[in-house]
Structure 1
Amino acid sequence: MTTSPVLTDISAFLNRPKIEIAGFCAAAYALYYATTAIYLVFFHPLSKFPGPKTWAASRIPWARHVVKGDLWEVLSKLHEQYGPVVRIGPDEITTISPTAWKDIYVSNPVLPKDPNSQTPPLNGAHSLFTAAGDTHKRIRNTLVNGFSDKALREQAPIIEDYAVQLVSRLQREAAKSTDGAVDIQKFYGYATFDMVTDLSLGESFHGLEGDNEHSWILGFFFHAKFGTIRNCLSRFSPLDILLGLILLSVTRKNRLKNWATVTEKIDRRLAKGDTSGVRSDFLTPVIGKLDEGGVKGITRKELTTNGLAFVIADCQLTTVALSASTYLLLRDPAKMKQLVEELRGAFQSDDQITVQSTQGLVYLEAVINESLRLHHPTPISLPRLLPPAGRVIDGDFIPGNSVVGINLQNIQNSPSLWHEPRVFHPERFLAASDPRYNAVFEKDVKAAFVPFSTGPRNCLGWKVFMAQARVILAKVLWNFEVEMVGAQEDWLEQKAYLVFEPKPLPVRLEKYRGGK
């Protein structure tokens, strides 16, 4: 029987020394990679968009900065170099065009989230952050009443009670300190964590009581950091399988602890049933609407997933925002004076400071908005996946199966959209008729400021966040004279993994003697 020439060639090749075979394979791979890179950089449908060639050729530069935690900072520099639309991956572009908000996040059909940006839930049940299509609509419709204006009015006593506890805890901590210095970031964290766990799970972690200390906030940040890196690895199949298993094994104990604790607390809250008239929380409208079939209402597993998601999101975002507001005010005494005068002019006693009473304080609102603009707690892109047919985004046709998104930090800090974008100017958010407003801020493109996203997937809890931020900041600055400890010039230079990494903010507190 005659041997096939092809088989003969293969046999001869395999009989060569292993070093030659390895060299051939390496050369073949290098050729494949080089050919692919040339195609991606010069001939891919996204090649018409500007950006660094190395980022267009490979996901490695993007992933490197995700792992380093400085992607937001690098993207800012890329936008300044290349313009409003930048290609940041073989299949991804980012834009800071304000008119793109509608095209990406509002226009029908609604674009799905990029699947590579999602962390699969460990219990197999989706949250509002990962659910898609009808599942997302069903879950949101079930939970939305817990975040209405009416619900917020009923939840206000919980928010106000923990703000009072925060002031008491800060007074105790300042009294214990030899120089009055306190890490206010840590206690902002305890306050927001107690608030959101009480609202989301039916009971708090009692971080503000007595001299209690805990590391739950860092544990939940660790959960968010794990998700960010895990999503990054998903781009590198099949290497992601091996690296993912290693990461999962390292983080399993912490993640299981988070899930077990949240599940236990939600089970206890559900056992209490309908508490209407006694107390209101995010779960109040859900009672009686559990549906294990997932047709109407929400399943118990989905409720647990969302409870954990709410806790992670709220405690970290609100803590970062409050810390940033305090830092920025302390760096600018004139702005601090403006806000303190507004607060102490509006309230004669601490108990007058409530969710309702702080709503009309225009400078307080401006300070919070400017803090969000300058240092958004989640300096991330919001990536969406285009359909195979592609879509026109802000006048440009983007080819199908591409990923496109707006980075919250970048669009709010762009010199092309804001007057002195890296300078703290709360006045830019005042009405033009306000005597403190300056006409130079007419240059600002306010349409770029969408801190809670937009469309059917916007932040469900933004009103709760604003209520927390207003009451906490108002109570702290009404009750204390606050002074920065040290220069802390680089405090805003923080790593970010979904959210900015918690960073101590030592301040000196002295009780305001004019209060009652």
Structure 2
Amino acid sequence: MNSRMETPSMIPIALLALLGTVVLYLTYNVATIVYNVFFHPLRNYPGPWYTAASRVPYLIKVIKGDYLTWNQSLHRRYGQVVRVAPEELSFTDGRSWRDIYGHRSGGKVTFSKDRRFYFIGNPTHPETPILVMTDDQNHPRVRKVFNNAFSNSALQKQEPLFLEHVDRLLKAIEQKGPAKFDLVTLFHYITFDIMGELVFGEPLGLFDGNEYYRAWVKGLFSDIKASSIWRIGYYYPFFLRLLEFLVPKKLQEERLESFRLANARIDKRMAEQTNHPDIWSLSEREDKDGKPRLSVGEMHVNASGFMLAGTETSATVLSAMNYYLLKHPAKLKRLTDEISTSFTRTEDMTLERLAQLPYLAACIEESLRLFHPAPNGFGRFVPQGGATIAGHWVPEGTVVATEHNNTYRDPANFRRPDDFIPERWFDPAFNSDRKIAFEPFSYGPRNCIGKNLAYHELRLIEAKLLWSFDFHLQEESNDWLDQKAYMVWEKNPLMVTATPTKR
């Protein structure tokens, strides 16, 4: 009887406890918002009040793929430094490249990476970072191993490999006949086949119809897109646990299996005694005593990292460059004329000679400026003691980043910033452009190791394409630039037709 009477009396207590918890939670959040807006060390930096109050608006834009356009609108309104989150500043001032990403003199500590921004990892070795994520102590060691493999001398040895894959691309286009086709897909095929041979010692066979690897390539972007959502969990751990619970086990296992397969291909390549000119034969994997400089885990994770970094990026630039050229016939003609008058036959297009074509180089630079393959900024933490960035004092612990795409489209840096004008890279009429703002391969000790590879690959593919075919943009791709960005661009199909030239 007494127990029955006690139960109702406990209900109000439970409700009061729940209500008290809710009130405390709301009070804490309101107090945090008030502090962020009115008392935070970054309170005097320009930006909307809601980005100062909470990171939620930032994350919503990231999840929707709209961060890039949103960030650009903020910079156009507030200037070259904007507070995009309570503890984060976004820069489009070209001087910030050196201040954030460059070497620091006088023994000053470098800016550390904001790991919440980076989703790249290998679940088979979760504790082993790829090259771009290694700490300051290990980065020089790992990078030294691969430096030689990406040098110009190494790329000269790999030239026959590049030529073989470009020929496969040309044959694939020729087989399309008068039918329209998607250039983006073919650019993915060639860049993945090239990197497959450089990383695994053999191509993926994408032009030969290998459906498994075609699905793998297609799934990589889905993985990148999904990782944008996972970033919520890096700021709000409760959501990370919830997301781990919600993701189907089958998808998690399929993702894990793709990395296991890549690891197995690396193990197979390591077991082979070959001088095939790939990353491994040209790198310094052993010290003078014959001891390995990298662990097996480091080889696995960096191989996966190279496959992503060396494929999606080049395919994006090629897609954008051909779209811009097809939308600007006079510039396309100028580039085609430069190529056709520089060579009497396609066999003369060597990496060395292609590097001497000024208008081709200008078209590549302008495509990188207008449609950078990794358009967002890469976050860094300001070290202890704070630092001056582009003339602004920034307190320690602040996350800072220079935005690739929006720095290159800032009217304060480039005249007619949204127009495709390859001539700006050599015409004195554009001497007012602040070229210091243009760092498409990042800056400093952690700049892109594959810069030489990317330029050679872009020159060779583009020159042979325009030598061999006349392309025609299809109506459904007129608005190809209307895309969302999730770390990389969610590229729409670039539909074209191709007619063999009469050279």
TM more than 0.5? yes
Q: Which residue of 1 aligns with 2:328?
A: 332
Alignment of 1:110 with 2:113, yes or no, is: no
Change in Cα spacing, 1:22 to 1:428, as seen in structure 2 (3 Å) is same
Q: 1:206 maps to which residue?
A: 205
Distance 1:507 1:160 in 2: 23
Within 5 A, what are the aligned runs for 1:403-422? 403-422=399-418
- Distance (Å, rounded) in 2 between the aligned partners of 1:267 and 1:257: 15
Aligned to 2:369: 373
Match of 2:444 in 1: 455
Is the contact between residue 14 and residue 21 of structure 1 (CA under 8 Å) also seen in structure 2? no
Which residue among 68, 81, 93 is the counterpart of 2:77? 81
SS of 1:49 mapped into structure 2: coil
What is the alpha-carbon distance in structure 2 between the residues aligned to residue 378 and residue 248 of structure 1? Answer: 29
Question: Which is worse superposed, 50-59 or 244-253?
Answer: 244-253
Select which of 147, 163, 186 maps to 1:160.
Answer: 163
Question: Residues of 2 paired with 1:232 and 1:148: CA distance?
Answer: 38
Structure-2 separation of matches of 1:343 and 1:169: 22
* Among 18, 25, 28, the residue aligned to 2:21: 25
Q: 2:215 aligns to what?
A: 215
- Match runs of 1:101-180 below 5 Å: 101-108=97-104, 109-119=109-119, 120-122=121-123, 123=125, 124-173=127-176, 175=177, 179-180=178-179
What is the match of residue 186 of structure 2? Answer: 187
2:145–2:284 CA contact under 8 A, matched in 1:
no
Where structure 1 has 5 or more consecutive residues not aligned to the other structure, the ranges are 1-12, 431-436
Structure-to-structure mapping, 1:473-484, within 5 angstroms: 473-484=462-473
Superimposed CA distance per residue, residues 130-152 of structure 1 (whole angstroms, 9 cap, x where no aligned partner): 11111222111111111111111
Contact 1:203/1:265 (CA < 8 Å) preserved in 2? no
For the aligned residues, what is the CA RMSD? 2.2
Q: Report the counterpart of residue 273 of structure 2 in structure 1.
A: 273
Paired positions, count: 486
Change (3 A) 1:231 1:210: closer
Whether the 8 Å CA contact 1:40–1:47 is kept in 2: the answer is yes
Q: Flag the 1:254–1:328 CA change in 2: closer, same or farther, 3 A.
A: farther
Which of 281, 284, 304 does residue 284 from structure 1 map onto? 281
Residues 109-147 of structure 1, C-alpha deviation per residue, up to 9 Å, x if partnerless?
321111212335421322112111112221111111111
**Amino acid corresponding to residue 236 of structure 1 in structure 2:** Y
Contact kept in structure 2, 1:66 and 1:232, CA below 8 Å: no
The code of the aligned residue for 2:433 comes to D
Output the amino acid matched with 1:208. F
Equivalence for 1:512: 501
Aligned residue for 2:89, secondary structure, equals: strand
Q: Which residue of 2 aligns with 1:9?
A: none
CA contact (8 A) 1:290 1:299 kept: no
**Is the 1:105–1:454 Cα contact (8 Å) retained in structure 2?**
yes
**Structure 1 contact 70–496 (Cα < 8 Å) conserved:** yes
Superposed counterparts of 1:328-477, under 5 Å: 328-430=324-426, 437=427, 439=429, 441-477=430-466
Judged with a 3 Å threshold, the aligned counterparts in structure 2 of structure 1 residues 106 and 14 are, in CA distance, closer, same or farther, namely farther
User: Which is further off, 347-356 or 93-102?
Assistant: 347-356
Match of 2:38 among 35, 42, 50: 42
Q: Which amino acid letter does the alignment assign opposite residue 480 of structure 2?
A: W
TM-score norm. by structure 1 comes to 0.90
Moved more, 105-114 or 411-420: 105-114
CA shift at 1:288, angstroms?
Answer: 5.1
- Equivalent residues of 2:477, 2:493 under 8 A apart: no
Distance 2:45 2:293 in 1: 44
Indicate how the Cα distance of structure 1 residues 113 and 251 shifts in structure 2: closer, same or farther if over 3 A, else same.
Answer: farther
| Structure 1 residue aligned with 2:236 | 236
TM-score (structure 2 length as normaliser): 0.92
Alpha carbons of structure 1 residues 20 and 147: separation in structure 2 relative to 1, 3 Å: same
Partner of 1:71: 67
SS at match of 1:376: coil
Partner of 1:8: none
2:253 & 2:226 partners in 1: Cα distance? 12
Give ranges in structure 2 of 5+ residues lacking alignment.
Answer: 1-8
Once the two structures are TM-superposed, the CA of residue 207 in structure 1 deviates from its matched residue by 1.1
Once the two structures are TM-superposed, the CA of residue 360 in structure 1 deviates from its matched residue by 0.5
Post-superposition offset of 1:193: 0.6
> Residue 41 of structure 1 contacts residue 57 of structure 1 at CA under 8 Å; is this kept in 2?
yes
Residue of 16, 23, 32 corresponding to 2:12: 16
Query: How far has the Cα of 1:211 moved from its partner?
Result: 8.9
1-structure distance, mates of 2:151, 2:20 = 65
The answer for the alignment partner of 1:316 in structure 2 is 312
The CA distance in 2 between the partners of 1:290 and 1:203, in whole Å, is 26
2:190 and 2:122 mapped to 1: Cα distance?
27
- Give how far 1:232 is off: 3.7
Does structure 2 retain, via aligned residues, the 8 Å contact 1:162–1:195?
yes
2:152 corresponds to which letter in structure 1?
Answer: D
Farther off after superposition, 59-68 or 123-132: 123-132
**1:284 CA drift (Å):** 1.3
SS in 2 for 1:116: coil
Relative to structure 1, is the Cα distance of residues 340 and 14 closer, same or farther in structure 2, using a 3 angstrom cutoff? farther
Letter matched to residue 259 of structure 2: W
Counterpart CA distance in 2 for 1:254 and 1:496 is 24
**Which amino acid in 2 is paired with 1:255?**
R
CA distance, structure 1, for counterparts of residue 449 and residue 262 of structure 2? 20
